Amino acid sequence: MAKYEAVEVFEKYIHKIDKFVDILNFNKLLFYSFSIQIRNHNMKKYFLFGIVPGLILSACSSINPVSESRLKNEVIPLPVEIHAFDNYLKINDRAEIVGKNKDEILAATTLKSILSTYGISANIVANPTDESNIFFTSNAKIDSLGNEGYKLTVNQQGVSIVANKGAGLFYAVQTIRQLIEKDNKIVKIQYCNIYDKPLYKWRGLHLDVSRHFFDIKFIKKYIDNMSKYKLNTFHWHLTDDQGWRIEIKKYPKLVTIGSKRSETVIEKNFNPFIGDGVPYEGFYTQEQIKEVVKFAEQRYVTIVPEIEMPGHSQAALAAYPEYSCTGESCKVLTKWGITDNIYCPYEKTFTFLQNILDEVMELFPSEYIHIGGDEVPKTQWKKSDFCQELIKKENLKDENGLQSYFIGRIEQYLNSKGRYIVGWDEILEGGLAPNATVMSWRGEKGGIAAANAGHNVVMTPGFAMYFDHYQANPKYEPFAIGGFTPLKTVYDYNPMPKEISIDKQKYVIGVQANVWTEYMKSSQQVEYMVYPRLLALSEIAWVKPGQKDWNGFQKRLPNNFMLLEKYGINFRLPEPEIKYTIINENEFSLNIYSSVPNAKIYYSSDGSKPGNNSKLFKSELKMSLPDSIIAIKAIIQLPDGRQSNYTEQKVEKPL
């Protein structure tokens, strides 16, 4: 029997043996990795029938791996189960990656690209050779892994990655991305066995491109970097009062008129209005969108487009005013907020929206289409004879009921096309459409009600998941919309409210952070607001609450800060930490710590704001203790010149 035939026979029984090993409380990962190594290495068949049974028997007396330690480069998000060892696999200037099918080759190609950044030239082969040291195996049929889980083994034989689907292989590669170390010219990965799978199936990040527009290059970067932290849903907010950003061929005026506004309000100068006098525009062609969708699919990211209705529609009505209740012409909104101009529920309006959605569905294969449904002023509906007659005709209670009717009509159409709607929690008002998914943003109340009623829910409450909020003292931060959502608030959030009954918890399908861009004019500002909060988001979306550990998460940040810098992300630099100890009545010792590797620390003790001209902190200092209070201020600075905000610590003599 050839070695591969032997392995095929063996693997028919692997899952039954898995159960036996589970009973013995043995690490299934370590056991399963042997079957993969047998498949991938030129071992004699007697190994299969000699060593493997011995391994099973040894499980009775040896439960834990020998020389187990912590991973030096710990991973974000934290894997479900890790067994690490005090040894390393060295990868020289070449690597040979084994991948056969489409999913394996895609994962292998991703890993090859990562290795190239370390100066390693990798070769991808369909069948293993004596030179092979990285092995991908999909279609493993391990029920516990689901569609996105994986098993990763690194030992003296090489790297083995096992998953049921391509997504699992991809996420294993993202874990490897964080595990790779470079010590001088040596590239290495610590020996480990990792079993991993996500907590939630919807792990989302949103971007509003209506208030401020971002080009395709940045959209790709945004998707690429979110996928590195195992987020899988990109919510693309494409239309709003301030701009329509998607080409619809049947209605060309949506972009020739709806994508342009005459100017933009300056900060919060609403009343009286003060604009910048600068015309603003931008939209994506359908070819560009197809390009982005394909790019996202290669990273296992689903794009959920949002086409706002019935409110937040002034940009569309500026192009086609006949679909409003007044029929009056209007302009694309130049200030932030909401307006009374909304769609009127005429039959011709539903035809208009259905035609738009037809083109949207051709571009986006996602099973979900987001239809907004939030912040809908009913002023025009209350004044409209047509709307009032429709309320009576359909036996609706009021205008909230009319909104529910509107959403229900759209849902029926999308359901007929095999798609499902997602809407903000206002779609609960007047009654929820039968198959709708609720995105709970006004706190958790809407999500709790929807889940307990048997509807799918994505938790995205403003107090924890709005990344347009300040993340530190506004005095020192770039201008933002308001609110306060620091990194720890994001990390501490649990997307499963206790008010949801146990039998209904299955309806909470995920969690998402939202990035509204009223006050984010540049892609650099978007990145500043998103990172490092995205790292906390990735962990709460992936890890069970009982596994989370804020202190442990902080210890895992430095390695990832280095990666963010490598990826060219303009992440917010956390302020340094100042600590002091009184030695005696005349002296104190000063220490300043940075969580960002390779950063310089500058400090001052004379009350001035620290900067390049300040003192460079290198190691613990002994300083004189004055009679009055002394204020120590410090910042960190990256090699590219970027600086953190400063932090301050007052030191005074004890009484």
Q: How far is CA 244 from CA 255, 481, 491, in A?
A: 6, 22, 34
Structure-token pair, residue 276: 């910048």
Distance, CA of 521 to CA of 468 (rounded, Å): 12
Is 312 considered catalytic here?
A: yes
Alpha-carbon dihedral angle through residues 391, 395, 401, 404, given to the nearest 10 degrees: -100
Contact between residue 571 and residue 531 where contact means Cβ atoms under 8 Å apart:
yes
Contact between residue 571 and residue 595 where contact means Cβ atoms under 8 Å apart:
no
If residue 626 lies in a helix (H) or strand (E), which one and from where to where? none
Q: Are strands 265-270 and 239-240 parallel, antiparallel or unpaired?
A: unpaired
Distance, CA of 633 to CA of 487 (rounded, Å): 22
- Residue whose C-alpha is closest to residue 309's, from 365, 224, 370, 399: 370
Q: Which residues are CB-contacts of 647 (< 8 A; sequence separation ≥ 6)?
A: 575, 576, 577, 578, 633, 634, 635
Contact between residue 304 and residue 456 where contact means Cβ atoms under 8 Å apart:
no
The single residue of 375, 492, 648, 652 carrying the catalytic annotation is: 375
Structure-token pair, residue 194: 């990792």
The single residue of 148, 208, 240, 539 carrying the catalytic annotation is: 240
Is 375 considered catalytic here?
A: yes
The single residue of 83, 312, 455, 469 carrying the catalytic annotation is: 312
Distance, CA of 553 to CA of 558 (rounded, Å): 10
The region, left, alpha or beta by phi > 0 then psi within -120 to 50, assigned to residue 183 is: beta
Q: Which residue has the tokens 């004879």?
A: 385
Distance, CA of 97 to CA of 100 (rounded, Å): 10
- Residue whose C-alpha is closest to residue 375's, from 447, 423, 434, 323: 423
Is 41 considered catalytic here?
A: no
Q: What is the amino acid identity at position 424?
A: W
**Which positions are annotated as active-site residues?**
240, 312, 375
